């Protein structure tokens, strides 16, 4: 097979398939290559989507078990049907992957199953799923190969008892004891799922805090809440090894700052120590492309690797988030089509889909202090929000940070039920360069949880009205 395209995209995750859709909309002849056999990448197949299906199901189980009677609802006993929970998760994934294939056809994008690599300038070679080799000629090549789980050098992953996110969403039984290595977003989400379903969860983290990158105040409150929910935290611990036994695993650790070794036993271990770009074997050297020591592809400010070669998503610098990759993909498609394309990574929100959710966008207080930027802040607790009180969902708060001189919003940090949705009104405000007063004077429906955002914005200038 030999064909010529305006754009050939290597990788069918959120960055790749959204780039393909936008290319199709712009009239560019496009092909997308993916080795998995189904589109959607890590996010849709073994990451964002299936984990959210389990988070949602486990939250409903916990609510039915612990909260319903207080609301006047008698359940008559609630049990976990793990096979059915896993089945409905797979149904969601299958439906969405089929939807992406439909979008490829709708936008006249050719979908090639196999492993793609750059053979030369304008030439992509594909080891097809059918065992045949194909050659695609392209005016532009977009690398959208994403990332894979990072591991520790002294731990062997088997995806059965010692697992990454892939194995953690497919455990065959609820472990009596579970160890999560890493207190970042993935570790906290997956640890929360299995804790709610009945596992005794211990989170081991090298740093002395949870959620590196989050606002300090949010991180401290989150740790307190998760501990109350049953998660145990062992912070400041260096994992030195893992030993497999008959039906258990033993973890060895020592204080990160030095000290005596200690062991923990569990039925399973989730390794959630971050992700690394998937860039090996792509043939970057054929076009003069380079990666840094972490495997991140070096690009210009406008995603360019070399003449006619672009890279987006997790395999380049910037936050490793599906929605960031989507924006990268759309921007690159527009650049190829001769339009303007740009993504401001300071405006990319982060969400932790625990219960309650955690969300933020823009700068943290620590970052503003380090940069020497004078700022003001407003903070409003959900305890004082009427809808939160009515729903018995009062955990958490909203914090707005604004420039002390101009009042321009510099960041927002939230913890509470539904804040993964609420964060976007601040994103929109920041995109338009809004001041905290703009949010504070925007009418919000009452009673709603989002009124907390308005009240926090009022607090920047000291006129919070509902507290």
Query: Catalytic positions, please?
Result: 446
Residue reference for tokens 């992509």: 124
Give yes or no for a contact between 270 and 191, defined as CB atoms under 8 angstroms apart: yes
Those residues with Cβ within 8 angstroms of residue 259's Cβ, 6 or more apart along the chain or in another chain: none
Distance CA 457, CA 401 (A): 8
Check: CB of residue 382 under 8 Å from CB of residue 416: yes
**Exposure pattern of 83-117 as b/e (b: 16+ CB <10 Å)?**
eebbeebeebbeebbeebbebbeebebbbbbbbbb
DSSP-assigned letters across all residues of 394-448 = ---EEEEEEETTT-BEEEEEEEETTHHHHHHHHHHHHHTT-BHHHHHTS---SS-
Strand partners, 33: 10, 112
Question: How far is 8 from 121, CA to CA, in rounded Å?
Answer: 12
Question: Can the peptide bond before residue 206 be classed as cis, meaning omega within 30 degrees of 0?
Answer: no
Q: Tell me the HSE value of 396 on the side-chain side, using a 13 A CA sphere.
A: 27
Alpha-carbon gap, residue 248 to 176, rounded angstroms: 10
Q: How far apart are CA 385 and CA 455, in angstroms?
A: 9
CA separation for the pair 1, 348 (Å, rounded): 40
465 vs 447: CA distance, rounded Å? 14
Output phi, psi for 460, to 5 deg.
-60, -40
**C-alpha span between 253 and 240 (Å, rounded):** 5
**CA dist., res. 324 & res. 165, Å (int):** 20
Contact 118, 283 (CB under 8 A): yes
Q: For residues 25 and 244, what is the distance between their CA atoms, to the nearest angstrom?
A: 52
Q: Half-sphere exposure (CA, 13 Å, Cβ side) for 431?
A: 13
- Residue 232's CB is within 10 A of a number of other CB atoms, namely 15
């Amino acid at each position: 097979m030999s064909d010529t395209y305006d754009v050939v995209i290597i990788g069918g995750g959120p960055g790749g398939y959204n780039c393909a859709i936008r290319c199709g909309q712009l009239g560019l002849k496009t092909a997308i290559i993916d080795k998995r056999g189904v589109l959607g990448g890590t996010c849709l197949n073994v990451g964002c989507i299936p984990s959210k299906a389990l988070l949602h199901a486990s939250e409903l189980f916990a609510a039915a078990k612990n909260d319903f009677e207080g609301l006047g609802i008698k359940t008559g006993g609630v049990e976990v049907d793990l096979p059915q929970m896993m089945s409905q998760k797979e149904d969601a994934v299958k439906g969405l992957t089929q939807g992406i294939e439909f979008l490829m056809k709708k936008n006249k994008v050719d979908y090639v199953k196999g492993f793609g690599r750059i053979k030369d300038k304008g030439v992509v070679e594909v080891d097809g799923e059918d065992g045949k080799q194909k050659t695609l000629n392209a005016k532009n090549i977009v690398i959208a190969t994403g990332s894979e789980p990072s591991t520790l050098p002294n731990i062997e992953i088997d995806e059965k008892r010692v697992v990454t996110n892939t194995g953690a969403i497919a455990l065959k039984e609820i472990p009596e004891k579970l160890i999560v290595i890493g207190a970042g977003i993935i570790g906290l989400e997956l640890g929360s799922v299995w804790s709610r379903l009945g596992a005794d969860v211990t989170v081991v983290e090298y740093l002395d805090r949870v959620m590196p990158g989050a606002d300090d105040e949010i991180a401290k409150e989150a740790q307190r809440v998760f501990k109350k929910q049953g998660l145990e935290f062992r912070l400041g611990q260096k994992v030195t090894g893992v030993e497999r036994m008959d039906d258990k695993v033993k973890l060895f650790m020592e204080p990160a700052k030095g000290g005596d070794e200690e062991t923990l036993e569990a039925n399973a271990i989730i390794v959630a120590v971050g992700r690394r770009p998937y860039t090996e074997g792509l043939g970057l050297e054929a076009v003069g492309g380079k990666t840094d020591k972490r495997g991140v592809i070096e690009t210009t400010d406008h995603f360019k690797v070399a003449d006619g070669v672009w890279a987006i998503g997790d395999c380049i610098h910037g936050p490793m988030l599906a929605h960031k990759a989507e924006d990268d993909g759309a921007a690159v498609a527009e650049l190829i089509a001769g339009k303007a394309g740009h993504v401001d990574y300071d405006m990319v929100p982060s969400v932790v889909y625990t219960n309650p959710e955690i969300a933020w966008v823009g700068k943290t207080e620590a970052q503003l202090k380090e940069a020497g930027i004078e700022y003001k802040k407003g903070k409003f607790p959900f305890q004082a929000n009427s809808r939160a009180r009515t729903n018995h969902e009062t955990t958490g708060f909203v914090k707005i940070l604004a420039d002390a001189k101009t009042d321009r919003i510099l960041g927002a940090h939230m913890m509470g039920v539904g804040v993964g949705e609420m964060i976007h009104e601040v994103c929109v405000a920041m995109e338009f360069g809004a001041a905290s007063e703009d949010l504070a004077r925007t009418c919000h429906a009452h009673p709603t949880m989002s009124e907390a955002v308005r009240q926090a914005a009022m607090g920047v200038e000291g006129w919070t009205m509902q507290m």
